[in-house]
């Protein structure tokens, strides 16, 4: 038998082992809890860096054509998506074929073109002149329509480029910039453009007032080219690239023969299918995200108020290079739902009823002459409150890609039985495959060529005393086997 002392020693030994065991368990538990806390903290930090719920939203992505755009927030690059919230300090980068249109909280509009980079340095809208609205265009092209805050306190707004400071006086303006120079065009209102130097630095707000500062208004028949250290150079409007030569929203509305702003706010929205005004003609939309937004607003208002229009799910293969759609998810005739059409495609031309989408990518057609066959067509004659079917009998299309010569003919049977044949032969001005052509009779053809040059889509418009003729067409190269 064990002696009393041996039992005490066994007890002490067991207690020592139990104490050591518990200490190890506690230590492991502490390490586990500490690790979990660190993981949680890191997760919260990561979530906070990309989540805008805890920060003040200053704007939102209202329109986006293409998918290749990045939002940089807290040094993290994230894919930019429709309806994404925009915060102070965010940077946006677009690649080829992607346009991004922002609506800011003071109703300002910012449109970023492909291959551009824009930083929103600050956007603090205040009732008085204590606000801060500063944008930095690091490269590419941007269009800005200032909002309520800049109109009330223009001294709080500034757009910087690598070489220039641009302050506003209530305006709609376009800037195209490289590291060496900036080109500024005013569509409405006025700006003051100044090269950096002396008292004009990137840190300031509002306009710079130096000996090299130049005022530019929408009434001036030129744009300004700003380079370091010299007075901005006046550039005639005829010598401007497409991005800077675009028209203001009011000018586009005048060309369309109606005020879209009023129509979108009307108590009774017009049907985009049958109640189209006779002056609603197609135009190039690739450079006009503001006009695209107006068309979306108008159509969405109609479809929201109408109970007779149903949405039909349609799958559109990415192999189809050119697709027509309405500005909504309704599908009828040649037009597929907009959500299906815009997938992987960009806006080219259209009107307030329909739009032609083209696959994203680089426009690289083969040289030489290509003949096309009419693949599909749909025509209507629109009068006030009525739309009558126009029969498309056939046609021809030939494009010389070396000279950019475009030749087409369309044969139609009008309501009532009259034969109508329209032809256009003209040179395409743009180098991206998007065209807007017109013959001596006032007939217009607006459309786009697929990136490989094998397909063409266009909208033909002819206005007469009978109404507005509108024909949507899709063409395929005769060398391609269907």
Say what the pLDDT of residue 246 is. 54
Q: Does residue 244 belong to any structural domain of this protein?
A: no
Contact between 89 and 80 under an 8 Å Cβ cutoff? The reply is no
Q: Does residue 21 belong to any structural domain of this protein?
A: no
Contact between 433 and 334 under an 8 Å Cβ cutoff? The reply is no
Longest distance between any two alpha carbons in the chain, whole Å: 126
Say what the pLDDT of residue 24 is. 55
Question: Running along the chain, 482 residues long, what does each successive block of 10 average in pLDDT?
Answer: 46 48 48 42 39 73 81 94 92 88 88 92 75 92 86 89 89 90 90 94 92 91 93 84 53 44 35 41 82 70 48 71 90 88 89 91 91 95 87 95 96 91 94 93 95 96 91 89 42
The parent domain of residue 387 ranges over 249-477
For residues 332 and 353, give the distance between their C-alpha atoms in angstroms, rounded to a whole number. Answer: 12
Q: Domain check: are 271 and 176 in the same one? A: no
Say what the pLDDT of residue 262 is. 38
Q: Does residue 40 belong to any structural domain of this protein?
A: no
For residues 444 and 145, give the distance between their C-alpha atoms in angstroms, rounded to a whole number. Answer: 29
Domain stops at, among 210, 239, 268: 239
Contact between 437 and 407 under an 8 Å Cβ cutoff? The reply is no
Q: Domain check: are 305 and 414 in the same one? A: yes
Say what the pLDDT of residue 261 is. 39
Domain stops at, among 221, 239, 257: 239
Say what the pLDDT of residue 213 is. 94
Q: Does residue 291 belong to any structural domain of this protein?
A: yes
CATH code of 86's domain: 2.60.120.1440
Q: Domain check: are 254 and 235 in the same one? A: no
Contact between 284 and 356 under an 8 Å Cβ cutoff? The reply is no
Q: Domain check: are 264 and 220 in the same one? A: no
Q: Which helix (H) or strand (E) holds 59?
A: strand 59-65
Q: Does residue 336 belong to any structural domain of this protein?
A: yes
Within 10 angstroms of residue 129's Cβ, the number of other Cβ atoms is 12
Contact between 324 and 384 under an 8 Å Cβ cutoff? The reply is no
Tokens, residue 415: 């309501």
For residues 79 and 104, give the distance between their C-alpha atoms in angstroms, rounded to a whole number. Answer: 20
Q: Does residue 3 belong to any structural domain of this protein?
A: no
Q: Does residue 444 belong to any structural domain of this protein?
A: yes
Q: How many domains does the chain have?
A: 2
Q: Domain check: are 299 and 210 in the same one? A: no
Give phi and psi for 353, each to the nearest 5.
Answer: -115, -50
103-124 in b/e form (b: 16+ CB < 10 A) is bbbbebbbbbbbebbbbbbebe
Instruction: Give Cα 419 to chain centroid, integer Å.
Output: 40
Q: Domain check: are 270 and 183 in the same one? A: no
For residues 68 and 93, give the distance between their C-alpha atoms in angstroms, rounded to a whole number. Answer: 9
For residues 245 and 436, give the distance between their C-alpha atoms in angstroms, rounded to a whole number. Answer: 15
Q: Domain check: are 255 and 119 in the same one? A: no
274-312 in b/e form (b: 16+ CB < 10 A) is ebbbbebbbbbbbbbbbbbbbbbbbbbbbbeeeeebeee
For residues 358 and 346, give the distance between their C-alpha atoms in angstroms, rounded to a whole number. Answer: 5
Q: Domain check: are 131 and 263 in the same one? A: no
Q: Domain check: are 230 and 143 in the same one? A: yes
Q: Does residue 435 belong to any structural domain of this protein?
A: yes
For residues 355 and 333, give the distance between their C-alpha atoms in angstroms, rounded to a whole number. Answer: 13
In 384-466, where do the E strands start and end? 386-400, 405-413, 419-427, 434-438, 444-449, 455-464
Give phi and psi for 322, each to the nearest 5.
Answer: -130, 130
**Residue 365: DSSP 8-state:** P
Domain stops at, among 192, 216, 239: 239
Say what the pLDDT of residue 449 is. 98
Q: Domain check: are 215 and 259 in the same one? A: no
**Pick from 378, 281, 359: nearest CA to 317:** 359
Q: Domain check: are 305 and 410 in the same one? A: yes
The model's pTM: 0.56
Q: Domain check: are 198 and 260 in the same one? A: no
């Amino acid at each position: 038998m064990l002696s009393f002392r041996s039992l005490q020693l066994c007890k002490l030994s067991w207690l020592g082992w139990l104490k050591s065991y518990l200490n190890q368990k506690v230590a492991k538990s502490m390490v586990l809890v500490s690790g979990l806390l660190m993981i949680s903290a890191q997760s919260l930090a990561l979530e906070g860096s990309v989540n805008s719920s805890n920060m003040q939203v200053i704007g939102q992505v209202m329109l986006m054509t293409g998918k290749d755009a990045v939002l940089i927030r807290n040094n993290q690059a994230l894919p930019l998506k429709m309806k994404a919230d925009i915060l102070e300090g965010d940077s946006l980068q677009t690649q080829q074929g992607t346009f991004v249109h922002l609506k800011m909280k003071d109703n300002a509009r910012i449109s970023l073109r492909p291959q551009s980079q824009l930083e929103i340095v600050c956007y603090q809208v205040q009732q008085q002149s204590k606000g801060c609205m500063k944008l930095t265009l690091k490269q590419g092209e941007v269009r800005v329509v200032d909002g309520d805050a800049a109109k009330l306190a223009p001294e709080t707004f500034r757009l910087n480029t690598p070489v220039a400071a641009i302050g506003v006086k209530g305006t709609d303006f376009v800037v195209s910039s490289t590291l060496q120079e900036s080109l500024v065009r005013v569509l409405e209102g006025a700006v003051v453009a100044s090269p950096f130097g002396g008292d004009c630095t990137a840190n300031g707000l509002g306009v710079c007032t130096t000996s090299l500062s130049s005022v530019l208004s929408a009434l001036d028949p030129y744009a300004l080219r700003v380079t370091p250290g010299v007075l901005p150079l006046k550039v005639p409007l005829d010598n401007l690239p497409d991005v800077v030569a675009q028209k203001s929203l009011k000018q586009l509305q005048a060309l369309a023969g109606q005020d879209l702003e009023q129509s979108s706010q009307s108590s009774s929205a017009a049907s985009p299918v049958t109640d189209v005004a006779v002056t609603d003609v197609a135009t190039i939309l690739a450079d006009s995200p503001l006009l695209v937004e107006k068309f979306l607003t108008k159509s969405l208002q109609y479809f929201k108020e109408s109970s007779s229009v149903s949405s039909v799910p349609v799958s559109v293969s990415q192999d189809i290079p050119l697709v027509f759609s309405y500005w909504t998810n309704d599908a009828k005739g040649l037009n597929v739902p907009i959500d299906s059409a815009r997938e992987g495609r960009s806006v080219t031309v259209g009107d307030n009823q329909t739009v032609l989408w083209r696959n994203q990518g680089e426009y690289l057609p083969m040289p030489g002459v290509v003949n096309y066959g009419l693949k599909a067509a749909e025509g209507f004659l629109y009068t006030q409150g009525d739309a009558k079917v126009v029969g498309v009998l056939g046609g021809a299309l030939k494009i010389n890609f070396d000279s950019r010569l475009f030749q087409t003919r369309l044969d139609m049977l009008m309501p009532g039985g009259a034969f109508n044949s329209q032809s256009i032969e003209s040179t395409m001005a743009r180098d991206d495959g998007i065209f807007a052509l017109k013959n001596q009779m006032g007939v217009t053809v607006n459309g786009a060529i697929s990136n490989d040059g094998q397909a063409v889509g266009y909208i033909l418009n002819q206005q007469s005393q009978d109404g507005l003729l509108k024909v949507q067409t899709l063409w395929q190269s005769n060398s391609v086997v269907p």
